[in-house]
Amino acid sequence: MQVFLTIAHQVFIIITRHEPREYTLPQIIDAPVDVELSPDGDPRAFIWNRFEHTVIGQPQAVFKRTRWWEDEGTPTRIDTELWRLDASRGGEEQHRYDLRRGIDGSWTLALDWG
């Protein structure tokens, strides 16, 4: 019984850690940005509006599938790559951002969750 309680406890924590911020209305940015990657391949920082934003903690990648058969041309990918991360500009209060990586490797700052 002990086991189940522990697991349930952990799950609860996972949910509470992310949920509250999901409900705030994001700001659509859609601007190309330069992203600096760590040796592991995770985004470490990005430059937006000439300011460097430093990533805090482990960013999470999310791949969302597309309905490619409704678009023109034959796709090379069936999903889009989105990174959700927390970052801070020069020690200011951290925001949550969604960064999108294109097939060509270019980055777009999609959303600012505040």
CB-wise, 18 or 28, nearer to another protein? 18
The Cα 83–Cα 55 span in angstroms is 11
20 lies in the binding site for another protein (CB under 8 A): no
Say which amino acid occupies 38: S
Residue 16 makes contact with another protein by CB under 8 A: no
For another protein, give the closer residue by CB, 59 or 108: 59
Q: Environment class of residue 83 by beta-carbon count within 10 Å: exposed (0-12), middle (13-18) or buried (19+)?
A: buried
Asked if residue 62 binds another protein (CB under 8 A), the reply is yes
Cβ within 8 Å of residue 105, ≥6 positions away:
none
| 14 touches another protein (CB under 8 A) | yes
Decide: is 18 part of the binding site for another protein (CB under 8 A): yes
42 burial type by CB count under 10 A (0-12 exposed, 13-18 middle, 19+ buried)? middle
Q: Which residue lies nearer to another protein by CB, 30 or 69? A: 69
Positions in the binding site for another protein (CB under 8 A):
3-4, 6-8, 10-11, 13-14, 18, 40-42, 57-58, 60-65, 67-70, 72-79
